[in-house]
Amino acid sequence: MMPAVQKDIPASLHFIDQHREQLVARVTSVDPLLDNLLQCLVLSEEEYEAVRAEVTNQDKMRKLFSFSRSWSRACKDQVYRALKETHPYLIMDLLEKSSSVSVGS
């Protein structure tokens, strides 16, 4: 028998897709994240500049996520690692909240 899977979250949904709304709302320091993503080649120079041109952190994160449709799983893993480096407490909080959600709910 297969274990029950949450119906609202597909099994293949990456952490950054799962927590997109919270990341947009709660990432407070976008520039170090962008620097990391540029260095590991997730973002091109043009994408980097486009995100930096936005005024608020929320707008910067929305712009960053607008590029996520073209990211492979490996790129999303890089974004996750960069977020873990630049915002470790936020990532821990999101992981704790998502692990406390029961599968049956």
Chain segment 18-45, per-residue pLDDT in tens:
999 999 999 999 999 999 999 999 999 9
Summarize pLDDT for 41-63 with one digit per residue, the tens.
Answer: 999 999 999 999 999 999 999 99
Summarize pLDDT for 81-96 with one digit per residue, the tens.
Answer: 999 999 999 999 999 9
Quote the pLDDT of residue 13: 85
CA distance 40 to 13: 22
In a domain, 94, yes or no: yes
CATH assignment of the domain containing 49: 1.10.533.10
In a domain, 4, yes or no: no
Listing DSSP states for 31-61 in one string gives HHHHHHHHHTTSS-HHHHHHHHTSSSHHHHH
Domain ranges, residue 82: 22-98
In a domain, 89, yes or no: yes
